[in-house]
């Protein structure tokens, strides 16, 4: 990518998109890095509109962040997809190279690993995942890098169970499936990753063990979740969805701008300020 910072553009795409914190994080990075001519916007784009959006992008575009429902839909529009993104069939980052190629990557997975590492979690011998959606597959891919033993996934349906088993085979992770009715057992694991929508884990807050280990709750608004708040009250370690959001955005900024390291602290403070104001 060119080293010039003149009139470069980036944006986050998705639908709905009004809630996205990505503009706050990326603009904070540009300010800290002195990239005064860089802009970062948000566009409400669904799967149907995505090819047309790509078709009208000019050479000033450096990259895109993608959220739901575009992470899989974008893949046919790309010239290259990283091994990490291909492993979960999900692209959240597109970088436009100097020669006009569109390269897709997934920074959610290394972002999860980095967020855990920041809290001193380099390796675990087992883990539990609450939920089985798209975020759960990214969590499995992250655990493929740091978990040496079994991952237990707590799911609500046979269809979700089959999907998690399939992801486990693809990612070479030993996955055992448990029914959601047994989800309280998950809280005894060395690492618990909660990937479910807001409110889903509230009922589990009363089942936290006396000495919980680490909870990674991918939600950030509202925060803290009932589970995260009670986990902290029991002196357990908590990694938040904002931690994930910031770490994956750091990697996006570095890929799109070519500047390293991206300003993690400034980006996190901007995100915290925006959430507090909201």
154 contacts 129 by C-beta, under 8 angstroms: yes
Supply angle C-alpha 118, 123, 124, rounded to 5. Answer: 120
Question: What are the DSSP E strand ranges found in 122-195?
Answer: 127-130, 151-155, 175-179, 191-194
Sign of the Cα pseudo-torsion (112, 114, 117, 118, in order): negative
Does residue 71 carry a catalytic annotation? yes
Q: What tokens does 175 get?
A: 């996955």
Per DSSP, the chain holds a count of helices (H) and strands (E) of 9, 12
Structure tokens at 255: 């890929």
CA distance to 53, 197, 225, 246, per residue, from 240 (Å):
32, 14, 9, 10
Using CB atoms within 10 Å of the CB of residue 172, give its burial: 0 to 12 exposed, 13 to 18 middle, 19+ buried: exposed
Query: Is residue 148 exposed (0-12), middle (13-18) or buried (19+ Cβ within 10 Å)?
Result: exposed
Judge contact between 278 and 270, C-beta under 8 A: no
Catalytic residue among 71, 102, 230, 268: 71
Which residues are annotated as catalytic?
A: 71
């Amino acid at each position: 990518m060119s080293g010039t910072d003149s009139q470069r553009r980036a944006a986050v795409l998705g639908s709905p998109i009004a809630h996205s914190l990505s503009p706050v994080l990326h603009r904070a990075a540009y300010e800290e890095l002195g990239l005064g001519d860089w802009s970062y916007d948000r566009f409400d784009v669904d799967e149907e509109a995505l090819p047309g959006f790509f078709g009208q992008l000019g050479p000033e575009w450096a990259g895109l962040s993608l959220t739901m429902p575009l992470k899989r839909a974008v893949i046919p529009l790309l010239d290259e997809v990283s091994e990490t993104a291909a492993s979960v069939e999900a692209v959240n980052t597109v970088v436009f190279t100097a020669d006009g190629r569109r390269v897709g990557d997934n920074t959610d997975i290394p972002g999860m690993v980095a967020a855990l590492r920041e809290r001193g979690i380099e390796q675990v011998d087992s883990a539990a995942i609450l939920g089985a959606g798209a975020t759960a597959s990214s969590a499995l891919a992250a655990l493929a890098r740091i978990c040496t033993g079994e991952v237990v996934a707590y799911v609500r349906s046979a269809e979700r169970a089959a999907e998690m088993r399939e992801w486990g085979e693809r990612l070479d992770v030993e996955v055992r499936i448990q029914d959601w009715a047994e989800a309280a057992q998950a809280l005894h694991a060395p690492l618990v990753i909660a990937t479910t929508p807001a409110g889903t884990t509230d009922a589990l807050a009363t089942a936290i063990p006396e000495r919980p280990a680490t909870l990674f709750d991918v939600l950030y608004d509202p925060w803290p979740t009932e589970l995260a708040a009670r986990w902290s009250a029991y002196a357990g370690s908590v990694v938040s969805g904002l931690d994930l959001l910031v770490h994956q955005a750091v990697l996006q900024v570095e890929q799109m701008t070519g500047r390293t390291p991206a300003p993690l602290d400034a980006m996190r403070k901007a995100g915290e300020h925006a959430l507090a104001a909201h």
